[in-house]
Amino acid sequence: MPDAYFSLPRSTKPAAFFGQHLAALPLRLPLLTLPDRVVYHVQGVGSWSVGVVDGRLDVQSGAVGPIGLQVTATEAHFREAITGALRERHLEVLKRQKLPAEVPDLRALKIDVARLKAAIAVGGSLAFILHDREYDDVYRYVLTIGNGPAAYAQATTTIEVDADDLVTLAATNTPPMKVLVSGKLRLAGDVGLPGKLLTALLG
């Protein structure tokens, strides 16, 4: 279904996104069940846990484990990622790359659960600072590996990147290790952590 992921109105609240829209999106995922869940924390609003069960998303309210990854953002930055400025930048980059604005087909993606567990065991946290050149704005999203306290203000590693560059690297299926050495990322803190995580995931 073309454009399905990008059709949500800007007024969509986090509770509506996780409670109504996310599980209803026509996602094409591998037919598997993952043992660990991703928990999304929207500061001052709430938390939602997302798992994959038999190739379909299972969304629950609260921090439901086992937890492999936690993503933390303010409500404003969550909105920009899902329905606002970052969504628009994503669409613009896809248009420039002559790529369809549609939900990607991930059914052929190979996932090694043992490698996922190895990456979770690495731990740490990554703060992604996305610079939006179109609107001269900055957005912050923090990924905490594992089920410890979710980081936000202080992360193990900070990664700054231009939003258009990040979308382009993702849209053109640039291998993760090549992304890391592309020169597009500016790292601070424990600069070795991203490499450790990718090594655990990819071998």
List the alpha helices (DSSP H) in the chain: 14-16, 75-82, 85-96, 113-122, 163-171, 176-180, 193-202
φ, ψ of residue 107 in degrees (nearest 5) = -65, -25
Q: What is the pLDDT of residue 5?
A: 54
pLDDT band at 1 (very low <50, low <70, confident <90, very high): very low
Mean pLDDT of the chain: 88
Whole-number Cα distances in Å, 97 to 162, 170, 182 = 16, 11, 18
Q: What is the pLDDT of residue 106?
A: 80
Q: What is the pLDDT of residue 102?
A: 72
Q: What is the pLDDT of residue 15?
A: 95
Of 131, 124, 141, 140, the residue nearest 189 (C-alpha): 124
Tens digit of each residue's pLDDT (9 = 90 or more) over 79-121? 988 888 888 877 777 788 787 777 777 888 888 999 999 999 9
Between residues 92 and 191, which one has the greater pLDDT?
191
Question: Is the pLDDT assigned to residue 62 strictly greater than 70?
Answer: yes
Q: What is the pLDDT of residue 2?
A: 43
Question: Is the pLDDT assigned to residue 175 strictly greater than 90?
Answer: no
Of 150, 132, 138, 134, the residue nearest 40 (C-alpha): 150
